[in-house]
Amino acid sequence: MSNKLYSDIIMDHWKLPRNYGALSSPDIDIEELNPLCGDKIHLTVVLSNSTISNLLFTSYSCVIAKAASSIFFDSIKGKHIDEIKKITEEAFLSLLPPNYISGRTKCALLPYKAIQKGIQAYETRSSI
Amino acid sequence: MLNAKNIQKDFPIFANRKKNGPFIYLDTGATSQKPKTVIDAVSRFYETTNANIHRGIYKLADEATTAYEDVRTKVAKFLNASSSSEIVFTGNTNEAINLVATGWAKKFLQKGDVVVITDMEHHANVIPWQRLRDEIGIVLYFLPLDQDYRLDYQALLSANIDLKKVKLVSIVHGSNVLGTINPIGEIVAFLKKEGIQAKVLVDAAQTVPHMKIDVQMLNCDFLAFSSHKMLGPSGVGVLWAKKELLEVMDPLFVGSHMVGKVTKEKTDFADVPDKFEVGTGKLEAVVGLGAAISYLESIGMDAVENHDKKLVKHGLKLFQQEKDFTLYGPKTEDNRLAIFSFAINGIHPHDIAQILDQSGICVRSGNHCAQTLMSILGTFATTRASCYIYNEESDLTTLFKKLINAKKMLRV
């Protein structure tokens, strides 16, 4: 396939997503859906001293959303949530293989939105 | 008989895009490509006939006015309307429907009155009525589909609504997702037979480009369509309505051009259809629409419709071959547009569309501005191929071959 969007890296993460599954008793349990296309991911995270000690995700989605989730979530294991909160959209997208058609950016951003919302929900619960 | 290969020669975009690789355009449901005659008509207007209309006394202004008003007459004839003053130029179909919702329905309906639409509508024919429900408390009823993706309009008789309060039935003529063509004449006759005294609005965005439309034969009260789906420029659409309805309707927008006498205390509106055309009109787009109608008439709408039917036959035959492919839409040829919305088991529509793009095939993936229909179909999104006069059967065959490849590539 000559199309750069479906590079070997993307296809590898699509067919063999890393950290795929669901954790029991997670500290963060969040589902992120794009209602315009039906892309959906479910993320579960266990924290230790506000650091990600384990995470698993499942997805019902397009190739880009699943591959981006696999690549991104693998990269944030062991990171402190303050560090993750500082990751901008641009920085996130730069982790992924290049050659995006802008029409697929929303697909790619699904895991980014999921973790940011998950952290926000966790911090809101913790401060109560 | 229409020859799509020859037709393509009239459309510059095909040769231009094919310089860089294969190009198969199967997204006319979203917008149509434009023949050189339409492109030239727009340029020529600005090169030779540009002036504001209905205002100047000088010769150029008169020519511009004539160029614009001639198209109004042309559209009236194209629809077999009884008068050109029944043709209102709007921005598009969406705007035309909003004009009926705000200018007629909001003015004359009251709380508890019923507006009937269907489960297969485009958002253009859902959201304005939802807003009316929120603003004045009309009841909004959705006619269901049957198992063949056809409209079960008889279900109205067993619906939990007061039929005496049904004041408007607003129906899509041809579904932009399913390809279903609804029998408007039959539905109007049904309403009359059952004593349901409702006005009928037809969203004809997907049918005016594809068949001869006769508003008198359809016997409806309002009809809306867009220029850009029928080879014309974007930015202009048409609301046709019976003159007696236009005369009592309120305009959507008020300001210049749509007025008679203006004082500080009071303003009279202009006669129809000018009452509904505020400010400077969509001058070059209207002229382009005129050229689009001329092009279609040179082919003949019967030939256009027969070409569609050939593509429907071929498409249905292809989709029957793969049990992994779900086709959302009627499986029978009659009353069906050459629009094919489908899903492939285990593969997201975005990926299908992206992979087809690698072969130069343009299809649409998403909810097609029909989220209420998507929820009925039990999905968020489909992939859609939609055909027109520049598509050959081989376009659909190639599409199908590439879909098989996509399935192999992405199956986990």
pLDDT in tens, B98-148: 999 999 999 999 999 999 999 999 999 999 999 999 999 999 999 999 999
- pLDDT average, residue stretch B325-333: 97
B60 has a pLDDT exceeding 60: yes
Bridge partners of B96, per DSSP, are none
A3 has a pLDDT exceeding 90: no
Looking at chain B, which residue has its C-alpha nearest residue A101? B354
Higher-scoring residue by pLDDT: B243, B411: B243
The number of CA neighbours under 13 Å toward the Cβ of A98 is 0
Inter-chain touch A37–B367, beta carbons under 8 Å: yes
Q: What are the tokens at A14?
A: 């699509």
Buried b (16+ CB within 10 A) or exposed e, A33-59: bbeebbbbbbbbbebeebebeebbbbb
Spell out which residues of chain B touch residue A37, defining contact as CB-CB under 8 Å. Answer: 348-350, 365-367, 380-381
- pLDDT average, residue stretch B230-258: 97
Inter-chain touch A63–B371, beta carbons under 8 Å: no
Under the banding of pLDDT at 50, 70 and 90, the label for residue A101 is low
The number of CA neighbours under 13 Å toward the Cβ of B299 is 29
What is the helix (H) or strand (E) element at residue B172, kind and residue range?
A: strand B166-172
- pLDDT average, residue stretch B308-324: 95
Under the banding of pLDDT at 50, 70 and 90, the label for residue A103 is confident
Looking at chain B, which residue has its C-alpha nearest residue A64? B351
What pLDDT does B56 receive? 78
Q: What are B's interface residues with A at a Cβ cutoff of 8 A?
A: 348-351, 354-355, 357-358, 365-367, 371, 379-381, 409-410, 412
- A58 CB near a chain B CB, below 8 Å? no
The alpha carbon of residue A34 is apart from the nearest alpha carbon of chain B, in Å, by 9
Q: List the single residue in B350, B358, B379 with the smallest CB-CB distance to A62.
A: B350
Write the CA distances from B156 to A6, B115, B172, integer angstroms. 48, 11, 16
Residue of A10, A13, A37 best to disrupt the B interface, most CBs of B under 10 A = A37
User: Could you report the per-residue pLDDT of B251-295, keeping only the tens digit for each?
Assistant: 999 999 999 999 999 999 999 999 999 999 999 999 999 999 999
Residue B201 sits at φ, ψ, to 5 deg, of: -110, 135
Q: Which residues of B carry out catalysis? A: 369
A21 has a pLDDT exceeding 90: yes
B140 SS3 class: strand
Residues 79-108 of A with CB under 8 A from B: 101, 104, 107
Inter-chain touch A101–B412, beta carbons under 8 Å: no
Inter-chain touch B366–A14, beta carbons under 8 Å: no
Spell out which residues of chain A touch residue B350, defining contact as CB-CB under 8 Å. Answer: 37, 39, 62-64, 104, 107
Is the overall model pTM greater than 0.90, yes or no? yes
C-alpha triplet B301, B306, B308: angle, nearest 5°: 95
Inter-chain touch A37–B350, beta carbons under 8 Å: yes
Spell out which residues of chain B touch residue A104, defining contact as CB-CB under 8 Å. Answer: 350, 354
The alpha carbon of residue A98 is apart from the nearest alpha carbon of chain B, in Å, by 15
Write the CA distances from B188 to A75, B25, B200, B307, integer angstroms. 61, 35, 7, 28
Bridge partners of B181, per DSSP, are B174
Looking at chain B, which residue has its C-alpha nearest residue A105? B350
Inter-chain touch A36–B380, beta carbons under 8 Å: yes
A100 has a pLDDT exceeding 60: no
Write the CA distances from B348 to A59, B43, B331, B379, integer angstroms. 12, 41, 23, 11
C-alpha triplet B318, B324, B329: angle, nearest 5°: 60
Inter-chain touch A35–B365, beta carbons under 8 Å: no
Beta-carbon pairs below 8 A across chains A and B: 50
Report the percentage of chain B scoring pLDDT > 90.
96
Mean residue pLDDT across chain B: 97
B213 has a pLDDT exceeding 60: yes
Looking at chain B, which residue has its C-alpha nearest residue A106? B350
Residue of A3, A62, A105 best to disrupt the B interface, most CBs of B under 10 A = A62
Under the banding of pLDDT at 50, 70 and 90, the label for residue A1 is very low
- pLDDT average, residue stretch B229-250: 98
User: Could you report the per-residue pLDDT of A49-85, keeping only the tens digit for each?
Assistant: 999 999 999 999 999 999 999 999 999 999 999 999 9
The alpha carbon of residue B218 is apart from the nearest alpha carbon of chain A, in Å, by 35
- pLDDT average, residue stretch B300-316: 98
**What is the residue whose two structure tokens read 């399935």?**
B407
Q: List the single residue in A35, A63, A104 with the smallest CB-CB distance to B410.
A: A63
Q: Which residues contact B171 (CB under 8 A, 6 or more apart)?
A: B116, B117, B118, B121, B125, B143, B151, B182, B184, B187, B200, B201, B202, B203
Under the banding of pLDDT at 50, 70 and 90, the label for residue A35 is confident
Inter-chain touch B365–A37, beta carbons under 8 Å: yes
Mean residue pLDDT across chain A: 91
- pLDDT average, residue stretch A82-101: 88
What pLDDT does B323 receive? 87
